[in-house]
Amino acid sequence: MRFSTRAIHAGQPPDPTTGAIMTPVYLTSTYVQEAPGKHKGYDYSRTANPTRHALEANLAALEGARFGLSFASGCAAANTVMNLLKSGDHVVSGNDVYGGTYRLFTKVFQQYGVQFTFVDTTDLAKVEAAFRPTTRAIWIETPSNPLLRITDLKRAAELAHAHKALCVVDNTFATPYLQQPISLGADIVLHSATKYLGGHSDVVGGALLLDDEETKKRLAFFQNAVGAVPGPLDCWLVMRGTKTLAVRMDRHCANARHIAQWLSEHGDVARVNYPGLAKHPGHAIAKAQMRDFGGMISFDLRGTLEQSVKFVCATRVFSLAESLGGVESLIEHPASMTHASIPREERLANGLTDGLIRISAGIEDVEDLIEDLERGFAAMG
C-alpha cells in the first residue's frame, strides 16, 4: 500500500468486538488475567496498551520500518536511544541539533561518562574525522534547526556502518512523508510527534522506528523500565494527526516554497535558508533524498536584534511561539527564544545571527501569510 493509504489504515483495523471504525482509546491501567500470566497479550499499560500499539504499528508503517515504539515526548524517545550506551562510549552529533537534544547529551548523559563530539554533519569529512574507536552512534538532523542544513543520509549511514556505529536520524522536520531515512541506511529514526505527526499543536509525544529486532528488544526494555510512555489519549491524537499527514505536508510545503521565494526577492532579507531554493547549498541532496522540502524556513534580516524582535511581534497570523509543525503558522526569533541558551559567540560562529527569524509555515491561505510578513517588515522602522 502507498503512503496515504497506510497513514489511514496501518495498525488500525476496525475494532473486532464492536466494529468501531476508529481505534478505541483504551483508558485502562491493567488487564484481567484468566490465570497468573495467562492473558490476551496485555498485563499492565506501562508495558503495553492497545491504543499505543496501534500508533506504534502506524508510525512503523509510515517510516517503512519493522518496529515502532512510542514515548511521552521526543526527548523521552531520545533518552531511550541514549540508554543503549554506556560510560566511555562516544557519539558524533550534529552541531545544530534540537536544543533539548543538546541539553540531554551535555547535561544528562555527559555526567554518566558518555562522550560527544559536535560537528557540522553536512561536511562528511568532519564527521569521518570525529570518529574514535569508542564511537557507538552518529546523530543527525536533516533538515537541521534553525538553519535548514542538509546532510547526505546515505553517505552518513555508510560512514557510521564502516565504523560499526549506529546511524540515528531525527526525522522530525521532514516527516516520513518527505524523507525515509531507514531506506537510506539509517538504523534508528526518531520523531517528536509533537510537531508534524500530531500536527495540531495539541499533544506532546515521541517515537522510535527501526528494523533490527535485537535493538528493538533493548529499546522496548528501556521503554518499560524507564517508563516515559504516552497515555492512550495522546496516542489516539497522534494517530488522528497521521491520517492527514500527507495532505497537510503538501500544503505546508507549497506555502513554504511560495514564502521562501518571496522572501528571497525582498530587499530587507540578507539570506533565506530553505532547501527548496536552487541556491541553497544542500538543494541537490535534499532533492535526491526528500519528496519535497518541508514547511520550515529561516531567514536573516538586514537589521539589528531589536528590529528582528519588532518584526516577530508585529505579525498577527503568524503567532509568536516556539515549536513547529502545526496547522497554524508560527514565527520565532532563535537568538532570544529557542537558542537563547547558547552563548552569543558560539551562536554567531554557527551562523545563528541576531537577525535570524524562523517560521513554521502553516496551512492557511498563503496570501494572508505574505501580507502578515509585510506587517513584520513595516514594523522594523
Annotated catalytic sites, by residue? Answer: 46, 98, 170, 195
Cα-based distances in Å from 359 to 18, 293, 325, 332: 44, 14, 10, 6
Minimum CB separation of residue 326 from ligand PLP in Å reads: 12
Closest CB to ligand PLP among 152 and 170? Answer: 170
Minimum CB separation of residue 365 from ligand PLP in Å reads: 25
Grid cell listed for 372: 502578515
Return residues touching ligand PLP (CB under 6 A). 73-75, 98, 100-101, 141, 145, 170, 172-173, 192, 194-195, 204, 206
Minimum CB separation of residue 304 from ligand PLP in Å reads: 27
Minimum CB separation of residue 97 from ligand PLP in Å reads: 7
Minimum CB separation of residue 358 from ligand PLP in Å reads: 11
Closest CB to ligand PLP among 23 and 145? Answer: 145
Minimum CB separation of residue 333 from ligand PLP in Å reads: 16
Closest CB to ligand PLP among 64 and 99? Answer: 99
Q: Which residue is nearest to ligand PLP (CB)?
A: 74
In 3D, which of 53, 52, 66, 57 has the Cα closest to residue 6?
57
What are φ and ψ of residue 191, in 5° steps? Answer: -135, 140
Minimum CB separation of residue 302 from ligand PLP in Å reads: 28
What are φ and ψ of residue 123, in 5° steps? Answer: -100, 95
Cα-based distances in Å from 141 to 182, 204, 379: 14, 19, 33
The rounded distance, in Å, linking the Cα atoms of 296 and 266 is: 18
Cα-based distances in Å from 180 to 142, 226, 289: 11, 28, 8
